[in-house]
Each structure stands twice: as C-alpha cells, then as structure tokens.
Structure 1
Amino acid sequence: MAIVQCPGCSKSISNKTKVCPHCQLQLGELTEEQIERLAIKKRISKQQKFMNHSFLALILFLGGFLYMYWHQPEPDSLQMIAAQGAIAVGCVWYLVNRVVLIYLKKKK
C-alpha cells in the first residue's frame, strides 16, 4: 500500500482506495489517461491563479507609482505613505508570484 495524491483534491490517499474520502472522486472508474488529464487540468488551473495574482500585484504597484507621479503628495503625508506601501506590496507580491510560477513550470 502506497500513499499517493488524489488527482481531484491533491490530498494524500491510499493507492488502493476506490473513492477519495475528501472529494468523493470515483478513482476506481477512472483510467490512467483520465487521472493524468485531471492532474494536468489542476496544474494549469493553479498556474492561471498565480498569473491572475501577478496581474493584480502589477496593477497595485503601478497604481501606487502613478498616484505618486500625478498627484505628487507631500512628503510624510498619509497619501505618500499609502502610495509607497502600494508600490512595496505590489512589487513583493509580483516577485513572489513569478517565483512560484517558475517553480510550477519546472515541476512538470
């Protein structure tokens, strides 16, 4: 008996299990090709989620930068701190998402 990941929910299950106890996926009725297709679909879905997060992080970064550029808030004002915070959070969030995407692509 070996522990494998369910292709539907990615939780650990026995390779002898016919039905996943977590997501109720009927593993006994699936062929190897269908199981592989489910795993690929799940990986692509995860990649798309991180691509969307990267896009939102980029929007946050650019929003903070453009606000500072057009409005030129006073130094040490609440607007300046908020714009700098948006730039910092957006930049870090974007970089983390890109690293995760590279890891997911190499994982194949």
Structure 2
Amino acid sequence: MAIIHCPKCAKSISDKHQQCPHCNSNIGELNSEQVQQLQREQRIKKQQMFMNHSFLALILFLGGFFCLYFLQPQKETLQWYAYTLAIGVGCIWYLVNRVILVTLKKKR
C-alpha cells in the first residue's frame, strides 16, 4: 500500500482507494492520460493562485509607497508606520510569491 496524491484535489490518499475520500472523484476509472490532464489543471490553478497573490502584494507595496510619497506623513507617526509596514510586507510577499512561481515552473 502506497500513499499517492489524488489527481483532482492533490490530497494524500492510499493507492488502494477507488474513490478519493476528500473530493469523491473516481480515480480507479481514470486512465493515465486523464490523470496527467487533471494534474496539469491542478498545477495551472496553483500557478494562477500565486500570480493573483503576487498582484495583491504588488498593489499593497505600491499603495504604501504612493501614500508615503504623496501624503508625506510626519516621521514616527501611526500613518508613517502603516505605510512603511505596507511597503515592507508587500515587497516580501511579492518576492516570496515570485520565488514560488519560479519553482513551480521548473517542476514541469
């Protein structure tokens, strides 16, 4: 008995299962071509999710930067800390997502 990943939901299941207990997909009836197609769709969905996260991170970064630049709050105030935090979190979040996307593309 080996542990495999469901081609539809990508959760761990036993290779003895004919139906995934998580998503109720009939994996016993799938041929190898259908399994590959489902895995390809899962990888694309995952890449799209990380692309969306990177766009949100970029918006957070740019929003903090433009607020800090144009509104010019006094240093050491709550607004200044909030804008600086938005810039830092947005930058780190963006970089992490881009690294994840690069590693996902190399796994092909």
Normalised by the length of structure 1, the TM-score is: 0.94
Partner of residue 99, structure 1: 99
Partner of residue 38, structure 1: 38
Taking the TM superposition and a 5 Å limit, the aligned residue runs for 1:1-108 are: 1-108=1-108
- Kindly report structure 1 stretches of 4+ aligned residues shifted beyond 6 Å: none
Mean alpha-carbon deviation: is it higher for 80-89 or for 26-35?
A: 26-35
Normalised by the length of structure 2, the TM-score is: 0.94
SS at match of 1:4: strand
The amino acid of 1:15's aligned partner reads D
Aligned length: 108
User: 2 CA distance for matches of 1:11 and 1:46?
Assistant: 14
SS at match of 1:69: helix
User: 2 CA distance for matches of 1:16 and 1:78?
Assistant: 58
Structure 1: give runs of 5+ residues left out of the alignment.
Answer: none
Structure 2: give runs of 5+ residues left out of the alignment.
Answer: none
The Cα shift of 1:64 comes to: 0.5
User: 2 CA distance for matches of 1:57 and 1:12?
Assistant: 30
Structure 1, residues 52-71: CA drift from partner, whole Å, max 9, x if none? 00000000000000011111
The amino acid of 1:4's aligned partner reads I
The Cα shift of 1:2 comes to: 2.4
User: 2 CA distance for matches of 1:34 and 1:77?
Assistant: 57
User: 1 CA distance for matches of 2:8 and 2:84?
Assistant: 41
Structure 1, residues 46-89: CA drift from partner, whole Å, max 9, x if none? 00000000000000000000011111111111111110000000
User: 2 CA distance for matches of 1:105 and 1:96?
Assistant: 14
